[in-house]
Amino acid sequence: ILNEIKNHFKVTQDKVNLVQSLNVGFLFMSGPISSGLAHQFGCRPVVMVFAFIFGFVYMACAYVPSIYIMIPLFGFVGGVAFGCSYLTCFII
């Protein structure tokens, strides 16, 4: 899918790789956030809220006009949201 993003936005491979790298990086960096929220509010609400946010990020990325919007949206917001929903499942 990275080649499709590169061709659609007509950017270099470095910028496309940055999107996925930030997503994976923030996914695993959100471990302390997800465990703290799960301890405070419980696992089920944390998983549901952040899964909804991550689904919204996926839908929004289909309509972004620029890679420079996709980088923080999918990289940062999507990474933290996916991390909080994914890593909290391990607590369950």
Residue 32 neighbours by CB distance under 10 Å: 9
pTM (predicted TM-score): 0.90
User: Rounded mean pLDDT of 5-31?
Assistant: 94
What's the pLDDT score for residue 63?
95
- DSSP symbol at 42: -
CA dist 70 and 8 (Å) reads 12
What's the pLDDT score for residue 49?
97
Binning the chain into helix, strand and coil, the percentages to the nearest 5 are 85, 0, 15
CA dist 44 and 56 (Å) reads 18
